[in-house]
């Protein structure tokens, strides 16, 4: 059996997230990809994704793998898949990997980007990929607040209910907030992330940036281990899975 790794780019706007939802006939990225794979390989394929991105969340570098006996040339497989896939899902890379590679269990970390457009009005071009925030934000305060997330912590306060995440400990390796014109770009790298964790972190930092929360209050919120103390969940559409590290 060959083990094939895909790197996938998608605009999540029109999908109910990555994961196939059992019993529900909803349009998910995984379902669309498995259907395309089945069409090309003439066999039912089960695809393992590295991250179960939520409805409306995007990816520049989602990783998934599947096993097949087919000897098809990978370049041809990629071409065939891309010709079948809708315009908002693209296989950007394909390679054969060792049989023990598992896109979820083998990964050592992920990089997410969150984009805020700080403006009175949205953007005709970017509206699918940003959270538009009208009130003034203090980047220095948000940067200070972001520092408290670095390292290993219990992230219960930033984990949505119904997560199924038993172990709430995560390690944040890097956290940068940059300004680019009217945009604020949050770049966060961690070994693992809980359900809606990045969006809860960004939603909380925005409360810091607009002066509703203190930057050093983040430490207290982490210590509470209770979702009720953190800020609101930032909208899905600003979030993009940038890279999965192995």
Catalytic residues: 54
Site string for its own copies, 122-141 (x = CB under 8 A): xxxx-x-x------------
Give SS3 for 81: helix
CA 190 vs. chain centroid, Å, equals 11
Q: Site for its own copies (CB under 8 A): which residue of 16, 52, 68, 88?
A: 88
In contact, 218 and 148? CB cutoff 8 Å: yes
Q: Where are the beta strands (DSSP E) in 155-238?
A: 169-180, 183-190
Q: How far apart are the first and last CA of the chain?
A: 21
Question: Rounded CA gap, 93 and 8, in Å?
Answer: 7
- Which range, of 66-74, 75-83, 101-109, 215-223, touches its own copies by CB under 8 A? 75-83
User: Is residue 9 within the footprint of its own copies (CB under 8 A)?
Assistant: yes
Question: Rounded CA gap, 36 and 79, in Å?
Answer: 11
In contact, 228 and 88? CB cutoff 8 Å: no
User: Is residue 185 within the footprint of its own copies (CB under 8 A)?
Assistant: no
Site string for its own copies, 14-53 (x = CB under 8 A): ----------------------------------------
Smallest distance, its own copies to C-beta of residue 9, A: 4
Question: Rounded CA gap, 77 and 223, in Å?
Answer: 49
- Which range, of 119-127, 155-163, 207-215, 229-237, touches its own copies by CB under 8 A? 119-127
Q: Treating both helix axes as pointing N-terminal to C-terminal, what angle do 217-224 and 197-209 enclose, rounded to 10 degrees?
A: 150
User: DSSP code of 232?
Assistant: P
Smallest distance, its own copies to C-beta of residue 119, A: 9
User: Is residue 87 within the footprint of its own copies (CB under 8 A)?
Assistant: yes
Smallest distance, its own copies to C-beta of residue 128, A: 8
Q: Site for its own copies (CB under 8 A): which residue of 21, 26, 76, 92?
A: 92
Instruction: State the residues that interact with its own copies by CB under 8 A.
Output: 9-11, 58, 60, 78-79, 82, 87-92, 120-125, 127, 129
């Amino acid at each position: 059996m060959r083990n094939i790794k895909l790197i996938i780019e998608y605009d999540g706007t029109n999908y109910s997230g990555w994961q196939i939802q059992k019993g529900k006939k909803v349009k998910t990225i995984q379902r669309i990809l498995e259907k395309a794979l089945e069409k090309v390989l003439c066999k039912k394929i089960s695809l393992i994704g590295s991250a179960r991105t939520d409805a409306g969340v995007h990816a520049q570098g989602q990783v998934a793998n599947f096993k097949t006996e087919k000897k098809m040339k990978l370049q041809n497989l990629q071409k065939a898949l891309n010709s079948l896939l809708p315009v908002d899902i693209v296989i950007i890379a394909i390679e054969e990997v060792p049989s023990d590679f598992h896109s979820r269990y083998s990964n050592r970390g992920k990089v997410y980007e969150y984009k805020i457009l700080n403006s009175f009005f949205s953007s005709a071009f970017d509206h699918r990929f940003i959270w538009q925030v009208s009130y003034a934000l203090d980047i220095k305060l948000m940067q200070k607040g972001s520092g408290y997330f670095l390292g290993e912590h219990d992230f219960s306060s930033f984990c949505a209910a119904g997560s199924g995440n038993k172990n709430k400990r995560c390690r944040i390796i890097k956290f940068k907030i940059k300004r680019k014109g009217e945009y604020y770009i949050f770049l966060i790298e961690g070994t693992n992330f809980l359900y809606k964790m990045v969006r809860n972190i960004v939603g909380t930092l925005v409360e810091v940036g607009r002066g509703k929360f203190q930057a050093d209050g983040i430490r207290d919120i982490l210590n509470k281990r209770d979702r009720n103390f953190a800020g609101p969940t930032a909208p899905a559409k600003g979030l993009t899975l940038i890279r999965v590290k192995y």
